[in-house]
Structure 1
């Protein structure tokens, strides 16, 4: 004898044909739903991978040394912080060094530029005490001392920080 189909076996047990069709529809629907979920999740993973490809840097945090001005016995620095593509930071503390015209380090300043709002450009002002602006030849961003907010780490913040200048001296990293 040949093989008997499941439908024929079920009919032999007295299961009505419409119940067999409903059962088959339910199985087909469950399979479609399962396949749809698998496809949707793979599309979501693919979309996230396209937004941030592996090895790509996070959105840059751009620092521009915009202005230097003498104030009493200090040199006041104005920094434009462009976080137009990044997440908010509660704290963003920089280790900065000011070099004189002979290339000798004269001042070290730990400048807190936070909080920095998400997707916003802000202006921060701080002083290099005890040194006149005309005696400065360069400002160096040596390190990021603190970076708090979201999933930011100190090392990640340093990596994404970019420097530029509109002042008459270099601002390096």
Structure 2
């Protein structure tokens, strides 16, 4: 009976240790996979110029690197074009203007200038406008997302998959 118990104990220990090895191998494989994703594409360009005697007179080198997106399925988009068209879309669809709706300086009407002479005028203005600012930023993000989904749907789908 002792032999059977000892045998079962040895088998349990061996089984647990082999399970740990499998977990380590899985972790190592995941780390290797992660390293290949994070590695940038590197390029060196070296330009040398020699005089008529073979002496090096100019030496210029350029090192560049870039990352592709995680899955390698990049979309070809002109970012400048997107930003320019977004500016017009944003101006039409967002009903506020920064200078008009969000000025910390008093209006030129003396009725609104009473708080201007208090010690913490700008801080108080910030406190009252903080929640308004948060609402405005959320609205701006919503408009940006609507713009990208409407005019560049593939761009948003690619981002959401990653």
Same fold (TM over 0.5): no
TM-score range, shorter chain: 0.3 to 0.5
TM-score, normalising length: structure 1: 0.31
TM-score, normalising length: structure 2: 0.33
Q: Please identify which structure carries the higher helix content.
A: 2
